[in-house]
């Protein structure tokens, strides 16, 4: 795509401006490092455009605070204080979702995942966010905790201009087929293969 020009211009009657403002559904998958990192980088771009950012982390413990969370939540505070950028919400499933305040809960993870997806569906219907990142969402889908067809229907029918990114390994082929943008991170080498541990600023 030289100079950002698509190789094909569809005969859909849309103007260039209209094509620039279509909602995107993206999937970051594969065994390589960088799926979530790329999604959070996109959130930074979106915040700079004034987008309303919503991050929903599946699987990860609520006690594990990654660097991107601190940065994006601080940017959300800057928005509240100055009006710059956009609002930011960050929710984790780990010990119960942020909105449920179940500290240290060890309840059924499948039920927590289903609760998170139900809330995301409500937010999609209400157009609460301009960019939603469903981090590590492929796992509850693969484990059968959330129905893939329900997810596809909700994303297909979402109103307005809401961008959605799903991250995680082994993305369901139906997600890949439905997505507008799919990136597969392929591992070539990783320092952990040589016994090295994760590092501050690299892994978190």
Q: What's the pLDDT at 170? A: 97
In a domain, 9, yes or no: no
Domain count, the chain: 1
- Note whether residue 67 is domain-resident: yes
Question: Residues in the chain, how many?
Answer: 204
53 within domain boundaries: yes
Residue 201 lies in a domain: no
Instruction: Report the distance separating Cα 15 and Cα 177, nearest Å.
Output: 25
With respect to residue 117, please indicate whether it lies within any of the assigned structural domains.
Answer: yes
Q: Is there a domain that residue 168 lies in?
A: yes
Burial class (CB in 10 A: 0-12, 13-18, 19+), 47: buried
Does 202 map to a domain? no
Strand order in the sheet with 53-57: 88-92, 53-57, 131-135, 163-167, 25-29, 181-184
Structural domain span for residue 58: 20-186
pTM of the model: 0.87
Whole-number pLDDT of residue 153 = 98
Query: Per residue of the chain (204 residues), what is the pLDDT tens digit?
Result: 556 677 776 677 767 676 677 899 999 999 999 999 999 999 999 999 999 999 999 986 656 678 899 999 999 999 999 999 999 999 998 666 766 656 545 557 888 999 999 999 999 999 999 999 999 999 999 999 999 999 999 999 999 999 999 999 999 999 999 999 999 999 888 777 778 877 776 766
In-domain check, residue 157: yes
8 A C-beta contact, residue 138 and residue 176: no
Give the domain CATH number at 93: 3.40.50.300
């Amino acid at each position: 795509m030289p100079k950002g020009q698509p190789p094909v211009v569809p005969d859909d009657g849309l103007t260039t401006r209209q094509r620039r403002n279509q909602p995107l559904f993206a999937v970051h998958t594969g065994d390589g490092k960088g799926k979530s990192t790329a999604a959070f980088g996109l959130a930074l771009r979106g915040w700079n455009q004034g987008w309303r950012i919503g991050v929903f982390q599946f699987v990860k413990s609520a006690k594990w605070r990654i660097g991107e969370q601190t940065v994006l939540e601080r940017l959300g505070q800057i928005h509240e204080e100055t009006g710059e950028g956009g609002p930011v919400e960050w929710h984790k499933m780990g010990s119960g979702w942020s909105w449920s305040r179940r500290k240290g809960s060890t309840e059924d993870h499948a039920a927590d995942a289903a609760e998170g997806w139900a809330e995301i569906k409500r937010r999609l219907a209400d157009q609460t966010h301009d960019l939603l990142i469903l981090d590590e969402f492929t796992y509850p889908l693969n484990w059968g905790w959330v129905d893939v067809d329900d997810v596809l229907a909700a994303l297909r029918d979402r109103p307005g201009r809401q961008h959605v990114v799903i991250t995680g390994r082994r993305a369901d082929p139906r997600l890949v087929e439905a997505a507008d943008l799919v990136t597969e991170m392929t591992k070539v080498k990783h320092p952990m293969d040589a016994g090295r541990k994760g590092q501050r600023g690299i892994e978190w």
